[in-house]
Structure 1
């Protein structure tokens, strides 16, 4: 396939003609050119008809003018390139015919510059080499005529200068765009690295704060468990003392304790209150079924439901009467040790041959019911209830 452009081997630029290649060589000092089958692009802006020869030129044109629509007319203007060097006829001279010269001193080999040089070399030893050639009077030697007028030469020089300045301006803009893109890429890279560093730092701080919160929560939980254990020990010891029972571990009793107990033993022992009896009843229920926490919790919640219904609707008889042989009641409360005893402490009594538990309307004591609800709530929410 015939070449349609000249390609610069140094920078890869595509040129339409030999003249453009010469101009390119003058501007850049590049000298490595070869024929190429790759056509020079001709992208014409549909808005202002500005031709662009590359994607870079279209991008610059779009950035400068805002025009974005281009028509590819490369195929219309592409033609095989001519490698003939344009002849400059500025110094052409009409040479006189050889027949008009009537002397041997006139050089006969002046048909071309090369012939003239050869003639001078051959006749450099002639005695009359330095004399002026003799030309007949009638012979007419025409002065050399320039092919271009001074105005045309001046205009041509201005056009060449303008083209050179235009190419330099394009190169400067291209270098500016490349430098701007490089700086933008460096800036974006730095911003990404900084964002990544900040994200890693925030993640590290978050993990440290989470670990610290977990340790603090664990410390508070241990402290809370320790306080609960201490409170339960004190409560148990106090309850056993009030009930007149011996301490669980006599070895842990201080030497002064028997003296104190001996002094207090002379006073009448106060009987346990109904609330304390309820608590002891719930504790014995949990101790009897300590291997089944779900069953114990379900029993406490059932008792709390019974007591809550009566407290909210004391006039409703259906809430104050419980059938003892009801299977659900037996599974949840009746079959468990202490379940019926707790209801009896709340005021329920067996009637009709121990078939029902019934709380008379006039025996509804809201203070007792509130105390029972408090004890049940504590037993449900306190994980250490009944452990000691």
Structure 2
């Protein structure tokens, strides 16, 4: 199979032509090239049409633009490579009819390094500056700039010039006056400046796009986090409702069992389920049959629920009241013989702010055994009326009310 590329033996790069191989040699100082049957990749972006010569180049294009679809047109672009080097004329253009001998080596002409650096400082590329100095005879900076002005439209203006080792190109003479040359120099500097500004603006637009993309990703991540938190809260509320439902069902079953037990003790036959009205509710059964009185713990729980429902617009105030009540109860449990812990002045401003001003606060303390004395000025728990079981139940109910976020919601 005929060769379709030149492969650099030093770095493995694939090149499409002899000219590319010469440019590669100039840039890298590599000199070991061989004809290869492996074609240079031609991956064309489906979105913007940019051709990429390697997988690395396509990956960089994807990272920079976000385009991921590429069409492999390597086979369409592959064609046998010509190892003949076209001859360069004195004007800098290629003459297809005049080809140098294949045995003659082509090299980059030597130019004045100082003048080359000055031209590069003015914004000219290395290839253009080298070509200008070579064909202006390395005469001066003005002559090189004059040559660039005259040949600015040449198709090969930005290609590195190549000449045979044994040949020397003649330099054309400058045909511009010093004033015209100075004006052209200023024009070229202005073009280079504008090109640099346009590149900076393009890079700024790219950075702005990247900032916008990152901002959108952060907003989406925050939204997902809030959505997950909302789902978690809903799941907790559902679990709480299910627990309440199971508790009500247990109470209903207990009522049924108590009802059946009472019928048995009274010598009545068991109730026929078919005679029970389908629409009958637990509330109706409670009204029709005597039930056991609520325990102190149930009364305390209902008192705390009522307190939270009455002041549900201020959760912080309710929580502070629960914590204050827990402190009162805890002090009595730890020091039952200390009267100062069993006597509370109702007119105390701190007590009023925390408990007394909330409906249900004083009632809860009365369920714990406290009684109003001295015309209602004090709440007092007599030593002989201290019931540790009741106080422990009160502490448990208060702890549950403080820690359960859904307490009193249902």
Q: Which has the larger radius of gyration?
A: 1
Shared fold (TM-score greater than 0.5)?
Answer: no
> TM-score band (shorter)?
0.3 to 0.5
